Structure 1
Amino acid sequence: MDDEVERELRAQLTAALEPATYPVADPFDLVPAIPGGPQTRFEVGDERYTAMELAVRLGGYHAFPYESVDELVDDVIAAMREEGLL
């Protein structure tokens, strides 16, 4: 996956997750902050994933609590790479 796709995904994730009140203790702390809730879609090249799909597929990779949006987004990006989604 090229750097541009990753930059775009990082921007999407940051915009969606930034409104949460940090630190966040678990995924449920993020739901009210995400603009479209669990059905919010993130585009990765030609693929699209909902927030719920990513939460389920990447759940084992998260290390809650997260102190900042950047820390959370870094983990999501790393997990997506590990799972071959990015």
Structure 2
Amino acid sequence: MQQALLTILTVLYGVGGIVTFAGFLPTIRDLWNGKPSANATTYWAWGATTFITSLYGFFILDNFVFNIVINLQLLACVIVLVLRLRLPR
């Protein structure tokens, strides 16, 4: 029973990571179309903390699902930053 619960939580955590990544898509779409809908300072801070969390995941936790989820979020932050910084201020 306990193993089944852990498996279910792992799957749900992975799905949550995909949903979180999907949540970035409207902002990415807006930026791609030239609409400056993201605050660069916010995404710098978010990207930096996500990067630190990613390092923690790789070197401390060593958990495959966690590493996938957090690095999807990091990828989304980087995409948003790159797209935002290419727009004029």
TM (normalized to structure 1)? Answer: 0.29
* Structure with max Cα Rg: 2
The structure with the greater share of residues assigned to helix is 2
